[in-house]
Amino acid sequence: MEQKIIVAIDGYSSSGKSTMAKALAKTVGYHYVDSGAMYRAVTLFAMRHGMIAPDGTVDSNALEADLPKIHITFATDTDGSQVTELNGEVVEQEIRGLGVADHVSAVAAIGAVRDRLTALQREMGVKKGIVMDGRDIGTTVFPQAEMKVFVQASPEVRARRRWLELAGKGQNVSYQEVLDNVRERDRIDTTRAISPLRKAADALELDNDHLTMEEQMQWLLGKFQEIAGGKN
């Protein structure tokens, strides 16, 4: 019988991990799950329901009470790309803007939110054959994953990539604003009490500051073949 594995790709924001994870999933015929999109969709829900004060404080009690009302799904767009849905509405574009980015780390630090999304993510991996990217996939969601990758790049390189991406989408933000956002998210993601971003002891490290996407993909595919080889 064909045996598939779980691939967990964790790393800092805008480190290029989603692009790599998506490409790997496509190449090897696995499902791709963007766990960050799930935290972003919950953040959008909280913003829309007035649960985030102007100073950024999140009303975690109200959000926790409403968690059963939040349904996150993934659908395929006409061009074949994956889009995130919040209660049946496609919110892909909205969750990628700086509005959501400004609040998502605070929402992702709430224990009840993490418990709910972790449970959903584990369900998605029951049949294996999945590539999931995020912050705690190799440490908390799938500590038993057969392949774990931890992606690193400097804040400046990541901010530049993100800024180019946002500018390409017509969003008017300065490089400095994006760099500040990247640094602030790094700080919150690595220092939160529950499931902080950290490399799993058994994760393979990839520092991609000086690598092209093609070089990264070659490396990733090579590792996948080594690990999944006999099993796939």
Name the segment binding ligand DC (CB under 6 A); options: 20-28, 61-69, 101-109, 148-156. Answer: 101-109
Q: Which of 135, 142, 158, 208 binds ligand DC (CB under 6 A)?
A: 135
Query: Which position among 134, 153, 181, 220 is part of the footprint of ligand DC (CB under 6 A)?
Result: 134
- Asked if residues 150 and 205 have their Cβ atoms less than 8 Å apart, the reply is yes
The span of 31-39, 64-72, 144-152, 198-206 binding ligand DC (CB under 6 A) equals: 31-39
Q: Residue 143: which residues within 8 A CB-CB, separation 6 or more?
A: 200
Q: Are 167 and 31 in contact (CB under 8 A)?
A: no
- Among 185, 143, 189, which Cα is nearest to 8's? 143
Instruction: Give phi and psi for 200, each to the nearest 5.
Output: -70, 145
Taking CB under 6 A as the criterion, the residue among 40, 103, 148, 158 binding ligand DC is 40
- In 3-state terms, what secondary structure has residue 58? strand
Residue 97 near residue 146 (C-beta atoms within 8 A): no
Site size with ligand DC, rule: CB under 6 A:
14
Contact (Cβ atoms closer than 8 angstroms) between residue 47 and residue 103: yes
Site string for ligand DC, 189-228 (x = CB under 6 A): x---------------------------------------
* Among 92, 185, 204, 220, interactor with ligand DC by CB under 6 A: 185
- State the residues that interact with ligand DC by CB under 6 A: 13, 35-36, 39-40, 104-105, 108, 134-137, 185, 189
